[in-house]
Structure 1
């Protein structure tokens, strides 16, 4: 799985979320997700490590661990979404998908767990995504940040 596949999965999850996504197309959502995650509209420049660090920095290591693991994905609150992404990021995302910010956050609450879960089948970062985080050293760095170990 590469980052573009992961973004497409995210777009599908967002479309199927409880947010009012009527009339949104997958390309728009994919592009908006890419920018939200620090990349360009084509998915280049996304840093999965910084996303995981944001989760850890927001005190959400246990939630992130549930998404990476094999069990059920823990839910994430709207407040937690606001702790991961800054106000400008969320506003830009909402504007790009042409939704009120509260609706965009609702969609992200359902999208983020699914995306991270799909990126880590059986608890392992998948294929090209593993390379995107810097191979074993990058994966160990992510794990240490999630679990607070070095």
Structure 2
């Protein structure tokens, strides 16, 4: 019939937020960035870019936005190339970054900076075998 209830969706987003924040450690920044990451994964997952896999959707979105080499370094087994907030902001559709920022209670620029600081580490940890797992998240 309909999709998942709003309560179920919020619970899933909270679980994802805790998972992603936990990848960053127990720092105070981890929980706030976890919320931004969960929102970002939700936004790109809803876009259909990853065929139901939010991580693949994010990879596809960033590849199309010109960050393919950096994203490949995060997925691969070598060193992770850094990305700046402005680079990330340019790679993502503005409406995606705007919605993520709104959900996180920050400006789009702050969201981009915080996500840029966290994404290399998070994507690296979500891809321990050097490739995007199927059905992740």
In the TM superposition, what are the counterparts of 1:115-126 in structure 2 within 5 Å? 115-125=122-132
Unaligned 5+ runs, structure 2: 1-13, 47-51
Structure ranking higher on relative contact order (CA contacts 8 Å, 6+ apart): 1
Normalised by the size of structure 1, how large is the TM-score? 0.60
In the TM superposition, what are the counterparts of 1:6-85 in structure 2 within 5 Å? 8-12=18-22, 13=24, 16=27, 24=32, 28-29=35-36, 31-39=38-46, 45-85=52-92
- Corresponding residue for residue 117 of structure 2: 110
- Structure 2 CA distance for aligned equivalents of residues 8 and 98 of structure 1: 17
- Structure 2 CA distance for aligned equivalents of residues 73 and 88 of structure 1: 27
In the TM superposition, what are the counterparts of 1:130-149 in structure 2 within 5 Å? 130-132=133-135
8 Å Cα contact 1:32-1:96 kept in structure 2: yes
Normalised by the size of structure 2, how large is the TM-score? 0.64
Unaligned 5+ runs, structure 1: 40-44, 134-150
8 Å Cα contact 1:6-1:119 kept in structure 2: no
- Structure 1 CA distance for aligned equivalents of residues 107 and 26 of structure 2: 15
Query: What is the count of residue pairs matched by the alignment?
Result: 117
